[in-house]
Amino acid sequence: MKYINIAILSLCALLLAGVATSCRPRNAQPEADFVVLTDVVPDAILEVRYFGTYNFVGSRIDGYEQPVVLLTREAADSLHVVADELRSQGYRLKIYDAYRPQRAVDHFVRWGQDLADTVMRRYFYPNVDKSRLFELDYIALKSGHTRGSTLDLTLFDMAAGKEVDMGGTFDWFGPESHPDYGGNPETGEYDPGLANITASQFANRMLLRQAMLRHGFLPYSCEWWHFTLAHEPYPDTYFDFPVRTL
Protein backbone atom coordinates (compact mmCIF):
# COMPACT_ATOMS: atom_id res chain seq x y z
CA MET A 1 0.00 0.00 0.00
CA LYS A 2 2.91 2.30 0.86
CA TYR A 3 4.37 1.93 -2.63
CA ILE A 4 0.98 2.41 -4.26
CA ASN A 5 0.51 5.69 -2.35
CA ILE A 6 3.97 6.88 -3.39
CA ALA A 7 3.20 6.03 -7.02
CA ILE A 8 -0.07 7.89 -6.84
CA LEU A 9 1.62 10.94 -5.30
CA SER A 10 4.34 10.84 -7.96
CA LEU A 11 1.73 10.67 -10.72
CA CYS A 12 -0.14 13.60 -9.20
CA ALA A 13 3.08 15.60 -9.03
CA LEU A 14 3.78 14.92 -12.70
CA LEU A 15 0.25 15.89 -13.67
CA LEU A 16 0.45 19.09 -11.68
CA ALA A 17 3.78 19.91 -13.24
CA GLY A 18 2.26 19.38 -16.66
CA VAL A 19 -0.62 21.69 -15.81
CA ALA A 20 1.79 24.30 -14.54
CA THR A 21 3.93 24.25 -17.66
CA SER A 22 1.61 23.49 -20.55
CA CYS A 23 -1.90 23.89 -19.23
CA ARG A 24 -1.62 26.89 -16.92
CA PRO A 25 -4.97 28.49 -16.09
CA ARG A 26 -6.16 30.94 -18.74
CA ASN A 27 -9.01 33.40 -18.80
CA ALA A 28 -12.27 31.80 -19.85
CA GLN A 29 -13.02 34.86 -21.96
CA PRO A 30 -10.37 36.90 -23.81
CA GLU A 31 -12.00 40.16 -22.75
CA ALA A 32 -10.98 39.39 -19.15
CA ASP A 33 -7.60 40.93 -20.04
CA PHE A 34 -9.28 44.14 -21.23
CA VAL A 35 -10.65 47.11 -19.31
CA VAL A 36 -13.25 49.79 -19.88
CA LEU A 37 -11.05 52.80 -20.54
CA THR A 38 -13.07 55.21 -18.39
CA ASP A 39 -12.43 52.97 -15.38
CA VAL A 40 -8.74 53.84 -15.79
CA VAL A 41 -8.99 57.35 -17.29
CA PRO A 42 -12.27 58.65 -15.80
CA ASP A 43 -12.17 62.06 -17.47
CA ALA A 44 -11.63 60.74 -21.00
CA ILE A 45 -14.22 62.11 -23.41
CA LEU A 46 -15.76 59.47 -25.63
CA GLU A 47 -17.09 59.91 -29.14
CA VAL A 48 -17.37 56.31 -30.28
CA ARG A 49 -17.84 56.97 -33.97
CA TYR A 50 -18.52 53.39 -34.97
CA PHE A 51 -21.36 53.05 -32.47
CA GLY A 52 -23.15 55.90 -34.23
CA THR A 53 -23.81 56.75 -37.85
CA TYR A 54 -21.40 59.65 -38.38
CA ASN A 55 -18.53 57.64 -39.80
CA PHE A 56 -17.25 56.83 -43.28
CA VAL A 57 -19.71 53.93 -43.65
CA GLY A 58 -22.73 55.92 -42.48
CA SER A 59 -24.20 53.30 -40.14
CA ARG A 60 -23.45 51.60 -36.84
CA ILE A 61 -20.62 49.13 -37.33
CA ASP A 62 -20.99 45.44 -36.49
CA GLY A 63 -19.75 44.57 -33.02
CA TYR A 64 -20.27 47.98 -31.43
CA GLU A 65 -23.04 47.17 -28.96
CA GLN A 66 -22.46 50.01 -26.48
CA PRO A 67 -20.73 53.42 -26.71
CA VAL A 68 -17.80 52.34 -24.53
CA VAL A 69 -14.08 52.14 -25.21
CA LEU A 70 -12.07 48.99 -24.44
CA LEU A 71 -8.30 48.54 -24.26
CA THR A 72 -5.89 46.00 -22.91
CA ARG A 73 -4.93 46.76 -19.32
CA GLU A 74 -1.36 47.55 -20.38
CA ALA A 75 -2.43 50.13 -22.98
CA ALA A 76 -4.97 51.70 -20.63
CA ASP A 77 -2.39 52.05 -17.86
CA SER A 78 0.02 53.79 -20.23
CA LEU A 79 -2.72 56.07 -21.49
CA HIS A 80 -3.52 56.99 -17.89
CA VAL A 81 -0.02 58.48 -17.61
CA VAL A 82 -0.50 60.36 -20.88
CA ALA A 83 -3.79 61.76 -19.60
CA ASP A 84 -2.17 62.92 -16.34
CA GLU A 85 0.58 64.76 -18.21
CA LEU A 86 -1.74 66.49 -20.66
CA ARG A 87 -4.30 67.35 -17.98
CA SER A 88 -1.60 69.34 -16.20
CA GLN A 89 -1.28 71.36 -19.42
CA GLY A 90 -5.02 72.01 -19.66
CA TYR A 91 -6.12 69.17 -21.94
CA ARG A 92 -8.29 66.08 -21.73
CA LEU A 93 -8.16 63.10 -24.06
CA LYS A 94 -10.99 62.53 -26.51
CA ILE A 95 -11.27 58.98 -27.83
CA TYR A 96 -12.84 57.99 -31.13
CA ASP A 97 -11.99 54.30 -31.17
CA ALA A 98 -9.77 51.72 -29.49
CA TYR A 99 -10.37 47.95 -29.46
CA ARG A 100 -12.22 47.01 -32.65
CA PRO A 101 -13.61 43.48 -33.13
CA GLN A 102 -12.80 41.56 -36.29
CA ARG A 103 -16.47 41.58 -37.25
CA ALA A 104 -16.24 45.37 -37.47
CA VAL A 105 -13.23 45.14 -39.78
CA ASP A 106 -15.19 42.65 -41.89
CA HIS A 107 -18.02 45.20 -42.05
CA PHE A 108 -15.55 47.79 -43.38
CA VAL A 109 -14.36 45.32 -46.01
CA ARG A 110 -17.91 44.57 -47.22
CA TRP A 111 -18.62 48.29 -47.40
CA GLY A 112 -15.39 48.91 -49.29
CA GLN A 113 -16.33 46.30 -51.87
CA ASP A 114 -19.73 47.94 -52.48
CA LEU A 115 -18.62 50.68 -54.85
CA ALA A 116 -22.18 52.02 -55.20
CA ASP A 117 -22.38 53.04 -51.54
CA THR A 118 -20.82 56.51 -51.38
CA VAL A 119 -23.27 58.17 -48.97
CA MET A 120 -20.52 59.57 -46.73
CA ARG A 121 -17.99 60.37 -49.42
CA ARG A 122 -18.19 64.16 -49.18
CA TYR A 123 -17.47 64.01 -45.44
CA PHE A 124 -14.56 61.57 -45.37
CA TYR A 125 -13.08 60.85 -48.82
CA PRO A 126 -14.16 63.48 -51.39
CA ASN A 127 -10.83 63.37 -53.20
CA VAL A 128 -10.39 59.60 -53.35
CA ASP A 129 -12.21 57.22 -55.66
CA LYS A 130 -13.78 54.48 -53.55
CA SER A 131 -12.39 51.81 -55.87
CA ARG A 132 -8.90 52.71 -54.59
CA LEU A 133 -9.55 52.44 -50.84
CA PHE A 134 -7.95 48.99 -50.55
CA GLU A 135 -5.06 49.87 -52.85
CA LEU A 136 -4.27 52.96 -50.75
CA ASP A 137 -4.59 51.01 -47.46
CA TYR A 138 -7.53 53.00 -46.14
CA ILE A 139 -9.40 49.68 -45.82
CA ALA A 140 -7.64 46.41 -44.95
CA LEU A 141 -8.55 42.84 -44.02
CA LYS A 142 -6.86 43.17 -40.62
CA SER A 143 -6.44 46.04 -38.20
CA GLY A 144 -4.09 46.65 -35.30
CA HIS A 145 -7.13 47.87 -33.37
CA THR A 146 -8.35 44.28 -33.18
CA ARG A 147 -5.34 43.34 -31.04
CA GLY A 148 -6.63 45.67 -28.32
CA SER A 149 -3.74 48.09 -27.77
CA THR A 150 -4.35 50.63 -30.53
CA LEU A 151 -6.50 53.73 -30.24
CA ASP A 152 -7.61 56.82 -32.14
CA LEU A 153 -7.74 60.05 -30.18
CA THR A 154 -7.40 63.81 -30.11
CA LEU A 155 -7.15 66.57 -27.50
CA PHE A 156 -9.85 68.63 -25.82
CA ASP A 157 -8.94 72.12 -24.60
CA MET A 158 -10.51 72.54 -21.15
CA ALA A 159 -10.18 76.33 -21.08
CA ALA A 160 -11.69 76.79 -24.54
CA GLY A 161 -14.30 74.06 -24.01
CA LYS A 162 -13.73 72.46 -27.40
CA GLU A 163 -11.54 70.09 -29.38
CA VAL A 164 -8.07 71.27 -30.22
CA ASP A 165 -7.74 72.34 -33.87
CA MET A 166 -5.63 69.68 -35.56
CA GLY A 167 -6.13 70.99 -39.08
CA GLY A 168 -8.06 67.87 -40.07
CA THR A 169 -10.73 65.47 -38.94
CA PHE A 170 -10.66 61.88 -37.70
CA ASP A 171 -10.96 59.23 -40.43
CA TRP A 172 -10.28 61.65 -43.26
CA PHE A 173 -8.95 59.60 -46.20
CA GLY A 174 -6.17 61.66 -47.68
CA PRO A 175 -2.62 62.98 -47.24
CA GLU A 176 -3.96 65.73 -44.97
CA SER A 177 -4.17 63.09 -42.24
CA HIS A 178 -0.49 62.15 -42.41
CA PRO A 179 1.63 63.26 -39.43
CA ASP A 180 4.19 64.75 -41.84
CA TYR A 181 1.57 66.94 -43.51
CA GLY A 182 2.86 70.40 -42.64
CA GLY A 183 6.27 69.55 -41.28
CA ASN A 184 8.70 66.99 -39.92
CA PRO A 185 7.15 64.94 -37.09
CA GLU A 186 10.56 63.65 -36.04
CA THR A 187 11.88 67.15 -35.29
CA GLY A 188 8.57 68.93 -34.77
CA GLU A 189 9.57 71.57 -37.32
CA TYR A 190 6.75 73.22 -39.25
CA ASP A 191 7.16 73.79 -42.99
CA PRO A 192 4.42 75.89 -44.64
CA GLY A 193 5.58 74.70 -48.03
CA LEU A 194 4.58 71.11 -47.31
CA ALA A 195 0.87 71.50 -46.61
CA ASN A 196 -2.10 73.77 -46.14
CA ILE A 197 -2.28 73.76 -42.35
CA THR A 198 -1.11 76.44 -39.95
CA ALA A 199 1.87 76.32 -37.63
CA SER A 200 -0.54 76.16 -34.69
CA GLN A 201 -2.42 73.19 -36.14
CA PHE A 202 0.82 71.33 -36.80
CA ALA A 203 2.05 72.12 -33.28
CA ASN A 204 -1.17 70.70 -31.83
CA ARG A 205 -0.61 67.45 -33.69
CA MET A 206 2.93 67.32 -32.34
CA LEU A 207 1.72 68.00 -28.78
CA LEU A 208 -0.42 64.86 -28.88
CA ARG A 209 2.22 62.85 -30.71
CA GLN A 210 5.06 63.65 -28.33
CA ALA A 211 2.98 62.89 -25.22
CA MET A 212 2.01 59.51 -26.65
CA LEU A 213 5.59 58.67 -27.65
CA ARG A 214 6.91 59.60 -24.22
CA HIS A 215 4.69 57.01 -22.60
CA GLY A 216 5.19 53.96 -24.76
CA PHE A 217 3.02 54.43 -27.82
CA LEU A 218 4.08 54.29 -31.46
CA PRO A 219 2.58 56.54 -34.16
CA TYR A 220 1.15 55.51 -37.52
CA SER A 221 2.56 57.17 -40.62
CA CYS A 222 -0.82 57.79 -42.27
CA GLU A 223 -2.97 59.08 -39.39
CA TRP A 224 -2.07 61.75 -36.82
CA TRP A 225 -4.70 60.37 -34.39
CA HIS A 226 -3.62 56.69 -34.42
CA PHE A 227 -1.22 55.13 -31.85
CA THR A 228 -0.29 51.60 -30.75
CA LEU A 229 1.34 50.51 -27.51
CA ALA A 230 4.93 49.57 -28.41
CA HIS A 231 4.95 46.48 -26.20
CA GLU A 232 1.39 45.36 -26.86
CA PRO A 233 0.47 42.14 -25.01
CA TYR A 234 -1.27 40.51 -28.00
CA PRO A 235 0.86 41.34 -31.07
CA ASP A 236 -0.43 38.35 -33.05
CA THR A 237 -4.00 37.96 -31.79
CA TYR A 238 -7.08 39.43 -33.47
CA PHE A 239 -10.07 39.36 -31.15
CA ASP A 240 -13.74 39.37 -32.07
CA PHE A 241 -15.73 39.83 -28.87
CA PRO A 242 -18.14 42.81 -29.09
CA VAL A 243 -17.57 46.29 -27.74
CA ARG A 244 -19.70 46.54 -24.61
CA THR A 245 -19.32 46.98 -20.87
CA LEU A 246 -17.26 44.12 -19.47
pLDDT digit string, tens, across residues 69-101? 999 999 999 999 999 999 999 999 999 999 999
More confident residue, 28 or 189: 189
For the chain, domains (ranges, CATH) are 29-229 (3.30.1380.10)
Average pLDDT, the chain: 90
Q: What pLDDT does residue 12 have?
A: 41
Share of the chain above pLDDT 90, in %: 85
Q: Could you report the per-residue pLDDT of 50-66, keeping only the tens digit for each?
A: 999 999 999 999 999 99
CA distance 67 to 149: 18
- Active site includes 223? yes
- Is the pTM higher than 0.85? The answer reads yes
Contact 163, 157 (CB under 8 A): yes
Among 47, 135, 189, 223, the one annotated catalytic: 223
The residues pairing with 184 across neighbouring beta strands, listed in sequence order, are: 189
Q: What pLDDT does residue 32 have?
A: 79
Give ∠ CA 116-120-125 in degrees, rounded to 5.
95
CA distance 84 to 183: 27
